[in-house]
Structure 1
Amino acid sequence: MASSEPAPVDTPVTLSEYTNRVTLKTVFERNDGGMGFAGRRIVIGGWVKSSREIRKDPEPAPEDVGTKDVSCVEVLQSRIPLIRSIMKVFGGGDFRVREKLDSAVQKLPQPSVSFLQLSDGSCVQSLQVVVDSELGRPCQVMPTGTCILAEGILQPVSLKGKHVIELKADKVLHLGTVDQNKYPLTRKRLPLELLRDCCHFRTRTTTVASVMRIRSALTQATHSFFQDNEFLFVQVPVITSTVFEECSKKFLVSTVLPKDGSSTDGISLEAIKASINEKSKQIEELRRSGSNKEAVVAAIQDLKKTTELVSKLEAKGKPKSGTSLEEDKFDLCQDFFSSQMYLTVSGRLHLESQACALGNVYTYGPRFRAEKSESKKSLIEMWMFETEIAFSALEDAVQCAEDLLKFVCKYVLEKSAEDVNFLSKRVDKTIVENLQFMTSGSLEKISYTEAVEILKQVTEKKFESNIEWGVPLSDEHTSYLVDEIYKRPVIIYNHPKEAKPFYVRLNDDAKTVAAFDLLLPKVGTLVRGSQSEERLNILSSRIEELGLSKQQYEWYLDLRRHGAVKSSGFSLMLDSLVLFATGLSDIRDVVPFPISPAKPSA
Structure 2
Amino acid sequence: MDSEQAAVVEIPVTLSKYSKRVILKTVLGRSDGGLGLLGERVVIGGWVKSSKEVRKEPVPPTEVDAGSASPKDVSCVEVLQSRVPFLRSIMKVFGGGGHYPVREKLGPVIPKPPPPSIAILQLSDGSSIASLQVVVDSSIALPSHLMPTGTCVLAEGILQQPSVQGKHVLELKAEKILHLGIVDQDNYPLSKKRLPLEMLRDSSHIRPRTTTVASVMRIRNSMTQATHAFFQNVGFLYVQVPVITSTDSEGCSEKFQVTTLLGRERKEEERNSVEHTVGVSLEVVKASIKEKSKLVEELKRSESNKEALVAAIQDLRKSNELALQLEEREKTKSGTSHKPYKVDFSEDFFSCPTFLTVSGRLHLESYACALGNVYSFGPRFRAEKSESKKYLAEMWMIELEMAFSQLEDAMNCADDLLKFICKWVLENCSEDLAFVSKRIDKTIVDRLQSMTSSSFEKLSYAEAVEVLKKVTDKNFEAKIEWGLPLTEEHESYLADEIYKTPVIIYNYPKELKPFYVRLNIDGKTVAAFDVIVPKVGTLVRGSQNEERFNMLSARIKELGLPKKQYEWYLDLRRHGTVKHSGFSLVFDALVLYATGLTDVRDVIPFPRSCGKADN
Q: State the TM bucket, normalised to the shorter chain.
A: 0.7 to 0.9
Q: Percent identity?
A: 64
Counterparts in 2 of 1:85-484, with a 5 A limit?
Answer: 92-93=102-103, 95-97=105-107, 100=108, 104=110, 107-257=112-262, 329-484=342-497
Q: In structure 2, how many angstroms separate the alpha carbons of the residues matched to 1:560 and 1:483?
A: 41
For the pair 1:37 / 2:45, whether they are aligned, the reply is: no
Gapped regions of structure 1 (runs ≥ 5): 1-7, 263-311, 317-327
Is 141-150 or 243-252 further displaced after alignment? Answer: 243-252
In the alignment, the residues of structure 2 paired with residue 88 and residue 94 of structure 1 have an alpha-carbon distance, to the nearest angstrom, of: 14
Tell me which residue corresponds to 2:84.
74
Cα distance in 1 between the residues matched to 2:254 and 2:113: 67
1:217 maps to amino acid: S
State the alpha-carbon separation in 2 of the partners of residues 39 and 402 from structure 1: 50
Q: Summarize the Cα distance change of 1:133–1:500 in structure 2 as closer, same or farther, 3 Å threshold.
A: same
**How far apart, in 1, do the equivalents of 2:167 and 2:470 lie?**
54
1:15 matched to which residue of 2? Answer: 15
What secondary structure does 1:43 align onto?
A: strand
1:329-358 superposed Cα distances (whole Å, 9 cap, x missing partner):
534243212110000000000000010111
Shift of 1:79: 10
Contact 1:259–1:329 under 8 Å retained in 2: no
Structure 2: 5+ residue stretches without partners: 1-7, 65-72, 268-336
Instruction: Tell me the distance in 1 between the aligned counterparts of 2:343 and 2:164.
Output: 68
Secondary structure class of the residue paired with 2:515: coil
**1:43-91 residue CA offsets vs partner (Å, 9 max, x unmatched):** 11100000011100123568868971534773369999x99xx989987
Measured after TM superposition, the shift of residue 393 of structure 1 is 0.4
Q: 1:566 to 1:77 in 2, by over 3 A?
A: farther
Conserved 8 A contact 2:88-2:102: no
Match of 1:487 in 2: 500
User: Any residues of structure 2 matched to 1:522-533 within 5 Å, and which?
Assistant: 522-533=535-546
Deviations 1:434-482 (A, max 9, x none): 1111111111111100111111122222222211211221111111111
TM score, norm. by length of structure 2: 0.81
The residue type equivalent to 2:145 in the other structure is Q
How far, CA to CA, are the matches of 2:166 and 2:81 in structure 1? 50
- 8 A contact 1:135–1:171 mirrored in 2: yes
Report deviation, 1:504: 0.5
Does structure 2 retain, via aligned residues, the 8 Å contact 1:246–1:500?
no
**Count of paired positions:** 526
Distance change in 2, residues 1:72/1:209 (3 Å): closer
Deviates more, 1:477-486 or 1:221-230: 477-486
Q: Are 2:594 and 1:569 equivalent residues in the alignment?
A: no
Which residue does the alignment assign to 1:55? 55
1:548-602 Cα deviation digits (max 9, x unpaired): 1111111010100100011101111110110000000111000000012222140
Q: Which residue of 1 is the match for residue 311 of structure 2? A: none
- Aligned partner letter, 2:366: S
Deviation at 1:244, TM superposition (A): 3.4
- For residues 246 and 490 of structure 1, the distance between their equivalents in structure 2, rounded to whole angstroms, comes to 26
Q: CA deviation at 1:210?
A: 0.3
- Measure how far apart 1:162 and its partner are: 2.0
Structure 1 residue 588 corresponds to structure 2 residue 572: no
Q: 1:130 to 1:538 in 2, by over 3 A?
A: same
Distance change >3 Å, CA 345–CA 77, structure 1 → 2: farther
Q: Quick one: distance in 2 between partners of 1:77 and 1:182?
A: 55
User: In 2, Cα distance between the equivalents of 1:77 and 1:572?
Assistant: 89
Alpha-carbon distance in structure 1 between the residues aligned to 2:31 and 2:250:
56
Once the 2 structures are TM-superposed, how far is the Cα of residue 238 of structure 1 from its aligned partner?
0.4
2:511 partner amino acid? E
- Correspondent of 1:551 among 542, 564, 581: 564
Distance across 2 between alignment mates of 1:153 and 1:214? 32
SS in 2 for 1:492: strand
TM-score, normalised relative to structure 1 = 0.83
Distance in structure 1 (CA, Å) of the matches to 2:418 and 2:505:
16
Deviation at 1:261, TM superposition (A): 5.5
Q: Is the 8 A contact 2:249 2:362 kept in 1?
A: no
**Cα distance change on mapping 1:29 and 1:73 into 2, 3 Å:** closer
CA distance in 1, matches of 2:89, 2:445: 68
Q: Which has the larger radius of gyration?
A: 2
Change in Cα spacing, 1:545 to 1:57, as seen in structure 2 (3 Å) is: same
| Amino acid in structure 2 at the alignment position of 1:96 | L
Report the AA paired with residue 584 of structure 2: S
Instruction: State the Cα distance separating 1:163 from its structure 2 match.
Output: 2.0
Amino acid at match of 1:520: V
Deviation at 1:491, TM superposition (A): 0.7
Contact 1:258 1:331 in 2 (8 A): no
8 Å CA contact 1:247–1:369 kept in 2: the answer is no
CA displacement at 1:248 relative to structure 2: 2.9
Residues 569/471 of structure 1: CA separation in 2 closer, same or farther (3 Å cut): same
1:130-172 deviation line (CA, Å, top 9, x unaligned) = 1111111110011100000111111111212222111111111
**For 1:411, what is the secondary structure of its paired residue?**
helix
Distance 1:440 1:449 in 2: 27
Matched AA of 1:431 = I
Taking a change above 3 Å as real, the CA distance of residues 512 and 467 of structure 1, as seen in their structure-2 partners, is same
Quote how far apart the aligned CAs of 1:376 are: 0.7
SS of match in other structure, 1:215: helix
* Rounded Cα–Cα distance in structure 2 between residues aligned with 1:23 and 1:556: 49
What letter matches 2:57 in structure 1?
Answer: D
Q: State the alpha-carbon separation in 2 of the partners of residues 43 and 56 from structure 1.
A: 25
Instruction: State the alpha-carbon separation in 2 of the partners of residues 539 and 369 from structure 1.
Output: 24
Report the residue type matching 1:570 in the other structure.
Answer: F
Q: Which amino acid in the other structure matches residue 105 of structure 2?
A: F
CA separation of 1:132 and 1:564: change in aligned 2, threshold 3 A:
same
Shift of 1:259: 7.0
